[in-house]
Structure 1
């Protein structure tokens, strides 16, 4: 499971690739327990929204949107957020690594474990949420509402003195 420092690093690395961009497309896998908001509703709610901030609350990432709504993300045990064009052997299964030539082993393409893909109006790289074990979570939160998962969090470990 990604620990707090790993979630913080993910937040810092993804923020400049997400904030200020307007969602033009939302691609998901089929509805499952991974989605706390149905894929069809996510598509409807996120399209045309601009990401105004990405914040970390404990091990949760929260994308604040221009209409006051939020997208809650939790990486679970094996979740990864990354951008299209990322190169990492970690993104490939051992089977994929074994069958690919060394020069092709970094060319990750979305697979059945890439449950959420956000495309943007600027034509830049998509942001992908991949989770092999599906313990991660995605939820849309309406403007002015909160979520019990966030409400029960105590002081942040990186800010507590």
Structure 2
């Protein structure tokens, strides 16, 4: 038999169980939040540019994880580099795409966000249809104003 002095009271057992449940819940929330952040947070984009354009005295590189734009939601990087291949902050950037077809015109405007690296921008655009699109990139900021139009193909 166990002496009564060594037996833990019912209240103490309940308090310990509540603390254990609280710690397990906090850990589960932390790991669930981390998992969700990895799924919906920004993804690292790298690779060779799917197109390179000259805008004034700068080079704009468009980098997509899959190597090209696709029908649907796209996320890619736009880098602006000078003649010495250094990244250059160009301020506000705008990116639009248009597709002209007989009887209708499709337009898709991109959302551009600055990254933590000057001269590198994260772009998001939804392309409703595969095919050849007319793209337009423009900027306005410390490096002046510039714009360029070019063709791009979405698969």
> What band does the TM-score fall into relative to the shorter chain?
under 0.3
Higher Rg: 2
Which one scores higher on RCO, CA 8 angstroms, separation ≥ 6? 1
Q: Normalising by structure 2, report the TM-score.
A: 0.25
